[in-house]
């Protein structure tokens, strides 16, 4: 739960998973069966695996298939984008056509990401070759998930690819504490905003004892990704002192 609070802005998978399971299906008298599968926007190779069962008999078969089209796009994006980042990405356009053709290439991105250069241009695609297109992006001063779409269109062909990019803070969540003493007079509290828009949270604690503000530190101690067994056990030592603080 604590780790999830640190991963703000992530709302969508980067790519659609290329894994599909279907069945069971019944075959005809010759042991054949026709199955239709709709693949996500994918370029590459897939392996089809079939398991057959008949009473106490079993069998299996797997085969590799290429997934390709006359016009294909393979974009290269960073895995994570920080707030305010400016970066350049490569778009590899593959033409399986038998003749050269002029294509319109259009790139669009939703907030909090902008296409800062070359959102739309023309490129001549050579037959049976790959064309490299470079596009520059800029992340705004806010977090969230941006959907980037790449569209390549020729007079009679079209290819579209969409990718979800997460724009996240450059640092982990930070905390700020303020304390006041209560008496009979009214207390007016003014909070000064800190951090990125949409990421702030505030808590009000009223107690006779001093507020130690250790909850987030304990969570960090418990959830820290320790490696070896000795390090995993060491996260318990700090918790031994908790009964003396409460």
The answer to whether the peptide bond before residue 112 is cis (omega within 30 degrees of 0) is yes
pLDDT at 227: 65
% of the chain exceeding 90 in pLDDT: 28
Residues 45-67: b if buried by 16+ CB within 10 A, e if exposed: eeeeeeeeeeeeeeeeeeeeeee
pLDDT at 3 over 50: no
Instruction: Give rounded-to-5 percent helix, strand, coil for the chain.
Output: 15, 35, 50
pLDDT digits (tens, 9 = 90+) for 89-117: 999 999 998 999 999 999 999 988 999 87
- The more confident residue out of 245 and 119 is 119
pLDDT at 139: 93
Q: What are phi and psi of 92, to 5 degrees?
A: -95, 115
Residues 65-90, mean pLDDT to the nearest whole number = 89
Residue 104, number of CB atoms within 10 A of its CB: 14
pLDDT band at 15 (very low <50, low <70, confident <90, very high): low
Tokens coding 167 = 């724009």
Q: Token pair 């992530």 is at which residue? A: 10
- What's the first-to-final CA gap in the chain, in angstroms? 23
Q: What is the pTM of this model?
A: 0.66
CA 121 from centroid of its chain's CA atoms: 27
């Amino acid at each position: 739960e604590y780790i999830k609070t640190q991963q703000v802005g992530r709302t969508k998978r980067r790519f659609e998973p290329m894994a599909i399971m279907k069945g069971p299906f019944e075959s005809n008298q010759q042991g054949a069966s026709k199955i239709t599968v709709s693949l996500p926007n994918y370029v590459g190779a897939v392996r089809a695996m079939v398991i057959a069962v008949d009473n106490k008999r079993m069998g299996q078969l797997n085969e590799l298939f290429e997934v390709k089209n006359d016009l294909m796009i393979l974009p290269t994006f960073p895995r994570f984008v920080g707030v305010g980042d400016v970066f350049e990405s490569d778009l590899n356009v593959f033409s399986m056509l038998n003749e050269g053709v002029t294509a319109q290439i259009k790139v669009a991105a939703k907030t909090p990401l902008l296409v800062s250069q070359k959102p739309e241009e023309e490129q001549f695609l050579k037959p049976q070759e790959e064309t490299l297109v470079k596009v520059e992006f800029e992340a705004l001063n806010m977090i969230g998930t941006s959907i980037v779409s790449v569209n390549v269109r020729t007079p009679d062909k079209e290819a579209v690819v969409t990718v979800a990019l997460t724009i996240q803070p450059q640092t982990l969540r930070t905390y700020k504490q303020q304390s006041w003493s209560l008496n009979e007079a009214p207390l007016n509290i003014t909070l000064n905003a800190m951090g990125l828009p949409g990421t702030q949270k505030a808590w009000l604690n009223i107690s006779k004892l001093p507020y130690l503000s250790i909850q987030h530190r304990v969570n960090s101690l418990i959830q820290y990704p320790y490696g070896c067994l000795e390090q995993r056990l060491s996260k318990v030592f700090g918790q031994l002192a908790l009964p003396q603080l409460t």
